[in-house]
Amino acid sequence: MIAMPEIVLLTLQEAGDILGVSSYTVREWINQGKLEGVRIGVRWKVRPEAIERYIDRNTKPEEEYKDQK
C-alpha cells in the first residue's frame, strides 16, 4: 500500500477564524480570485498554504509602517 501524505484542508469557517473574517467573506475572496480554494463536491476548502500566501500578499513590511509615522 502506498502511504498518502497528510493533506490539511480547512473549512471556510476555520479559514475565516484564522483571517478574522466571516466564512462568507472567505467565499467571496475565493470567487474573486483573492484566495485560493479547493472545491470538493459542493463544498469549498482552503489549504493553510493558501492562507499564508494571502497574508504575505496583503501585509506591509514593518519598515513601511515606520516610514508612514
pLDDT tens sequence across 29-61? 999 999 999 999 999 999 999 999 999 999 977
Question: Strand, helix or coil at 11?
Answer: coil
Helix (H) or strand (E) holding 13, with range, is helix 12-19
- The residue segments making up the domain with residue 22 are 12-62
Give the per-residue pLDDT at 60.
Answer: 79
Is 69 inside a domain boundary? Answer: no
The residues, any chain, with a CB within 8 Å of residue 48's CB and separated by 6 or more, are 8, 10
Is 2 inside a domain boundary? Answer: no
Is 51 inside a domain boundary? Answer: yes
Grid look-up 516610514 returns 67
Give this prediction's pTM.
Answer: 0.79
Q: What are phi and psi of 34, to 5 degrees?
A: -80, -25
Is 19 inside a domain boundary? Answer: yes
